[in-house]
Every structure is written in C-alpha cells, then in structure tokens.
Structure 1
Amino acid sequence: MSITAQLRDSVELPGGGALVHGFALERRGDGSSRALLGNGRELEVSDLDALFAGGGAPAAVFPLPWPGWDRGVHSVSPDGTFAVFSGQRAVRAVGRGGETLWEYRHACWGPAMDHPHTGDEQEVCRGNEHGSCRVSEDGRFVWAHVVAEPAEAGWEERWVVLDARDGRELARLRLDSAASGSHQLSHPDGVHMGLCIGMGQDGVLLHWARLDGGELTGWDLNEGMDRILMDVHAGHPGFLTVEHSGWDLRLHALDGTVLAEVPAEAPDDEDPPCWDYGCGFVDADTVIASTIDSAEEPEQARHWLLDARTLEIRGAVAYPTGPVDSYVRPLGDGTWLTYDDESGTLNRWASAPL
C-alpha cells in the first residue's frame, strides 16, 4: 500500500540540509521547531514556520565563540535570549548582544593525550571528536557532554548539569565512553534528558537521566544493545531508536523496556534493506522511517509510515513530485521535512487527506 504525500511548504535554503540530516533543527516540547544554522561567523536562529513564510531576518543571531570550530551540537534557550555552544575545550553561553554570559571549561576533545595548547582560545586541535549541549525545556539548566580535566581523572567523559544563569556545575555523571560525537534530546515532560554517544566502530551508548532537586539520577540502556536515540513525542509514552547497523526499529519505555519492534526485512521481501538514520514521530500516532541508506543508493530510497504504538507498517510514501532521495526529519505536528541537495530546497510534507 502506498500513502500519497502532500507538499505543504517549500523554500530555497542553502545549508538547510543540516535540518534534515544534521543537528541544526531544535524541537521543543511545546511543539515549536527552530532552525539553528551557521552563517559565516554567526549562528542564525529562525522559527521554522517563519522560514517557510519568507520571514526575512532571523529571530536571533549569535556570534560563534570559536569561528574555526565547526563541530559540537549547540542549543538555544526556549525564549531565545541566549545560546549555549559546545566547544572543543569549553561550553559557553552567549547573549543576543554577543556578550559572553559564562563559560564552563573542560579538557580538550582532541584525541592526543596531554597535547599542548598555545593559549589562544581560537586554536582548534586536530580530531573530529566533540560533545553536545542542550538547554532544558524550562530554560533553567544546561546539560553538557564534556571531557574531564586530565589532572582529575585521566581520560574521563562526563554528563554535567549546569545552572543556565551562571554556568555553575550542579551535578555530574561519569560516563564509560570514548566519543566520536554525541547529541541530546529533552523529553517533552520537562524532566528527562536523553544522551546518545557515537563511538565510531565501537558502537553507540544511550543514557537517560533526570534531575530531582540537586540529585542526578541516570540509567543506561547499553547492556546487549547498540542503539541510536532518534526521537520522542509529547503524546507518546516512550522513545524511538534504530539499531546501529539498521537491523530494526524499536519503541521503548523510558526504562528501556521494548514496547514494539519492526525488523528491517519487513518492508521488502526481495532484498532485505536496512533502516537508515532518518526516522521519528510525525505525530503521536505515526512514525516515519526510511529504508536503504539514501546517500549510498538514492534510487532505492523509500520512506514508510508506521503505527506509532505497534510499529506496524501502514505503507510506503508516494511523493507527487516523483522519488525523493532525501533523509526525512519529522516535526511531530503531522508533517516532515526533506531536503533537495541539488536545488537547495527544503520541503515540508504531510499525508494527503483520504
């Protein structure tokens, strides 16, 4: 069965591919979605609806603290008054006027142990390794994945919770990881935070935590698992993951209990595909997912709509414009994004009414 997609919006947006296959899209529990796009030495923050409406100037612009540093996953406060940047040697909060609000120093993400630094804060050491940060749903805390100072613990990664007002460390969890990179998702309940750590060929680690008063309680879902944290939704009790090699999709309760699972071979009996990394909640009742890595075999890319409670496949997405060789990024409001690299066009889709 095929399900026809309806084009809702379209806009030419150079660099907009990062909203679909990167971490430049920041969704909040209130249903809002914002684009965090780098433009030269600045981070431009725009409401997604305003972008599609041709809304002109970004809602906020923040100078990049380290213009030569192009890694790390950054975050903006829910009210848009400050941005928090995940750097190679620090987490820094910057106000809308460009002023530094605070800085939390940590060890260098560069992979060479005890390598020297020149003292220039703009120095970028070799290596692609990076951490991430996320402002909490209420704007009070900043969760950051960092490296501990070598003098304290040798190589040790930590998940720290900082006071968003002054960067003061409130709590920490020690992590048994050697990250290539990471990203975080704040649960719409405003309490829980998820952290996904990619370690290259060594797999993926997945953690959840909550801050109760001053006590940080964390748990991992890594026993016998190798799963990427993909999405959460306010209207759904769990979260969605994809197995690192694409063998299956799963829905989990917050404690890790598997609520539903769909293997990769279900959609195509002739040549069992893999699920790629474009998947998530279209809305509380629907998940969208892709089979075949569209970057490697674009002519075979296929998008599927699934039941969000059972992961039963409802059907393949049929686009009126022809095959769409793009990853997908659902927005949780009944729509999803694709990006056309050739034309530089960002498209927003919905299921056509029956």
Structure 2
Amino acid sequence: MSINARLRDSAFLPGGNALVNGFAFESRSGGARRALMRNGQELEVFDLEELFAGERAPGAVFPLPWPGWEWGVHSVSPDGSFAVFSGQRAVRAVGAGGEPLWEYRHACWGPELGHPHSGDEQEVCRGSEHGSCRVSDDGRLVWAHVVTGDGEDDWQELWVVLDAKDGRELARLPLDSAAEGSHHLSHPDGIHMGLSIGMGQDGILLHWARWDGERLTEWDLNENLDRILIDVHPGHAGYLTVEHYGSDLELHALDGDVLASAEPEDAAAEAPASWDYGCGFVDAGTVIASVPDDEEFPDLAGHWLLDARTLRKRGRVSYPAGAPAPRHLLPLGDGTWLTWDGGAQTLNRWAESAG
C-alpha cells in the first residue's frame, strides 16, 4: 500500500543535512524543537517553527570554545540563555554573549593514552573519538559523557551529572565502554535521560538514568543487546531502538522489555535489506522508518509508516511527483517529519496526506 505525503513547509537552511542525518536536532518536553547548526566558528540556534514561518536569522549564536574541535554533541539550555559544549578535554558552558560560565575538565578523548599536551587549550589531539552532553529539560542539570585517567590502568569513561549553574559534579556513573562517539536523548517526561554509546565494530551500549537530587538511578540495558537508541514515544509509551546493523526495529518499555519488533521484510517474508538509522515517532500512533536502496529488493527501499504499537507496516510513503527522493529523515512527533533537499538547500516538512 502506498501512502501519499504532502509538503507542509519548506525553509532555506544551508547545511541542514546535519539536522536529518546527525545530531543537530534538539527537542524539549515543552514542545520546543531547535536546530543547532555549526557555521564557521559559531553555533547557530534556530527555532523550527520560526524558521518555517520565514525567520532566516538564528535566534541565538554562541562562539565555539575550541574552533579546531569538530566533534562532540552539544546542547543549549531550554531558554536559550547558554550553551554547553562537549570538548576533547572539557565540558564548557558559554553564555549568550560568548562569556565562559564554567568548565568541567576531564581527560583527553585522544586515542593515544598518556600523550602530553602543550598547555594550549586550543590544541586538538589526533582522533575523532568524542563524548556528548545534554542540558535537562528544566535547565537545572547537564548530563555529560566524559573520560578520566591518562593511562591503560586508570582509563575510565564516565556518565556525569553536573549542576548547570556552576558545573559542579553531582553524581557519576562508571561505564564499561570504549566509545567512538555518543549521544543523549531526553525523555519527554522531563525526568529520565538516555545515553547511546557507539563503539564501532564493538557494538552499542544503551543506558537510561534519572537524578532525584540525591541519588542517581540507572538502568543498564546491555545484556545481549547491541542497539542504537533512536526515539521516545511522545506519550511516554516506550522508546525505539535499531539493531546495530539494521536487522530489526524494536519498541521497548523503559525497563528494556521488548513490546514489538519489525524486520524490513518483503511480501514473501524475505529480509536481506536492513533498516536505516533514520526512524522515529511521527506521532503517538505512527512510526516512520527507512530502508536504504537494495538492488535485489528495490520495492523495500524508501520510507515506511508503521503502527506505533505493533510496528506492523501500514504502507510505503509516496512523495509528490518531481520531488527529490529523500533518504534521511527526522520525525517530529507532532504528525510531521523532516527531509533535506541538497540541491535546493531546503529543509522540507511533510505530513501524511488526508486524501
């Protein structure tokens, strides 16, 4: 079955591919949705609703603390008054005027254990390994994936909770990981935080946690798992993961129990293709997922709408004639999803056609 998509909005946004195929998107439990776009030596923050309404200028601009550092996943406070940057050797908060607010120092993400530094804070060491950070939805906490130690005997990755006012460490959780990179995902309940750690060919680690002001409670969900944390149900009814190599898509309860599963199989129940990493909740009742091109099974390629409770396929998305066939997508949870048109440099917002 084919399901027609209609174009709701379109906005010019150079570099917008990072929004649908990366970690430039940030949503908040109150409904705010923002694009965090790197432009030269600055981080530009765009409100998506204002962008689609025609506002071309970013709502906030923050200078990058380490211009030569191109990695890390950063975050901006809910009110846009400060940004927190995940650097190679520190997590740093920066005010709206570019002034440093605080810094939480940690060991170097560079892959050479025990390597010296020149003392220049702008020095960038070899390698692309990095952590990530996330300001909580109430703006009071910063969750950060960092590393400590400088040798093989004391090297340790940590998940830390920091006070957003001064960077003071409130809690830490030792991690059994050797990351290439990571990203955080805030739960819509405003309480729980998810952390997905990619370790290349060594797999994926997934954690959920909450901080109640006194104690850090964590759920380690990695027994026999190798799954990427993708999205959380807008009605708090579970979260989505994709298997490391895309073999299946699963809906989980917060404790990790599998509620539903789907493979990208064809009508004959053959499934050599894989799900792409672009998927998530279009709304409370619908999931959108993508299958990359497969020469043997071309009818599977494209975007599919699934029932959010069972993950059964509802149909393949059909875009209007003449529209570029998009690969990457970003669902917004409000009945729409985003794609990127590289030729026109536009961010396109789609919805399921009522007809």
Question: TM-score under structure 2 normalisation?
Answer: 0.95
Instruction: Please give the per-residue CA displacement for 1:166-204, whole angstroms capped at 9, x wherever unaligned.
Output: 000000000000000000001011111000000001010
Aligned residue in 1 for 2:89: 89
For 1:323 and 1:268, locate their aligned partners in 2 and report how far apart those are by CA, in whole Å. 29
* Secondary structure in 2 matching 1:112: coil
Quickly say closer, same or farther: Cα 1:278–1:224, change in 2 above 3 A: same
Pair 260,353 (structure 1): closer, same or farther in 2 beyond 3 Å:
same
SS of aligned partner of 1:150: coil
| C-alpha distance in 1 between matches for 2:266 and 2:135 | 38
CA distance in 2, matches of 1:334, 1:134: 25
Secondary structure of the structure 1 residue equivalent to 2:111: coil
User: Take 2:59 and 2:268, find their aligned partners in 1: how far apart are those partners?
Assistant: 44
How far, CA to CA, are the matches of 1:281 and 1:324 in structure 2?
20
Q: 1:151 to 1:178 in 2, by over 3 A?
A: closer
Question: Paired residue for 1:61?
Answer: 61
Q: SS of 1:4's equivalent?
A: strand
Tell me which residue corresponds to 2:264.
264
Q: Output the CA distance in 1 between the equivalents of 2:351 and 2:176.
A: 41
User: Does the 8 Å contact 2:293/2:302 carry over to 1?
Assistant: no
Q: 1:232 to 1:143 in 2, by over 3 A?
A: same
Among the aligned pairs, what percent are the same residue? 71
- Could you tell me whether the CA contact under 8 Å between 2:130 and 2:180 is conserved in 1? yes
Q: Return the offset for 1:293.
A: 5.9
1:334 Cα shift? 0.6
Q: CA deviation at 1:220?
A: 1.4
Structure 2 counterpart SS, 1:50? helix
In structure 2, the residue matched to 1:275 is 275
Q: Deviations over 1:225-284 (max 9, x none)?
A: 100000013313210000011110000000000011111225675663100100001111
Once the two structures are overlaid, the 10-residue window that deviates more, 258-267 or 94-103, is 258-267
Instruction: Find the aligned partners of 1:298 and 1:162 in 2 and give their Cα distance.
Output: 48
How does 1:145-160 map onto structure 2 within 5 Å?
145-150=145-150, 154-160=154-160
State how far apart, in whole Å, the 1-side matches of 2:270 and 2:168 are.
Answer: 56
Instruction: Provide the rounded CA distance (Å) in 1 between the counterparts of 2:178 and 2:288.
Output: 31
Cα distance per residue 1:138-164 (max 9 Å; x no partner): 000000000013379621000000000
Amino acid paired to 1:332? G
Distance 1:90 1:293 in 2: 40
Q: Is the 8 A contact 1:326 1:340 kept in 2?
A: no
Q: In 2, Cα distance between the equivalents of 1:256 and 1:80? A: 33
2:32 equivalent to 1:23? no
Letter in 1 for 2:264: A
Q: Contact 1:301 / 1:326 at 8 angstroms: preserved in 2?
A: no
Is the 2:136–2:190 Cα contact (8 Å) retained in structure 1? yes
For the pair 1:345 / 2:346, whether they are aligned, the reply is: yes
Structure-1 separation of matches of 2:190 and 2:228: 21
1:347 is aligned with what amino acid?
Answer: N
Structure 2 residue aligned with 1:132: 132
Maintained 8 Å contact 1:301/1:325: no
Look up the match of 1:331: 332
**Number of residue equivalences:** 352
Aligned residues of 2:261 and 2:310 also touching (Cα < 8 A)? yes
Query: What 5-or-longer segments of structure 1 have no aligned partner?
Result: none
**Aligned AA (1:10):** S
Correspondence list, 1:227-306, <5 A: 227-266=227-266, 269=269, 272-292=272-292, 301-306=301-306
Deviation by residue 1:25-45 (Cα, 9 ceiling, x = unmatched)? 101112221010011111010
Query: Residue 246 of structure 2 contacts residue 274 of structure 2 at CA under 8 Å; is this kept in 1?
Result: yes
Alpha-carbon RMSD: 1.9
Summarize the Cα distance change of 1:299–1:345 in structure 2 as closer, same or farther, 3 Å threshold: farther
Aligned to 2:177: 177
Paired with 1:39 and 1:323, the residues of 2 have a C-alpha distance of: 25
CA offset digits 1:28-72 (Å, max 9, x no partner): 112221010011111010101111222132111100000111110
Amino acid in the other structure paired with 1:340: D
In 2, Cα distance between equivalents of 1:144 and 1:256: 22
Residue 221 of structure 1: aligned partner: 221
- Alignment partners' CA distance in 1, 2:100 and 2:128: 25
TM-score between the two structures when normalised by the length of structure 1:
0.95
In structure 2, list runs of 5 or more residues that go unmatched.
Answer: none
- Aligned partner of 1:30: which letter? G
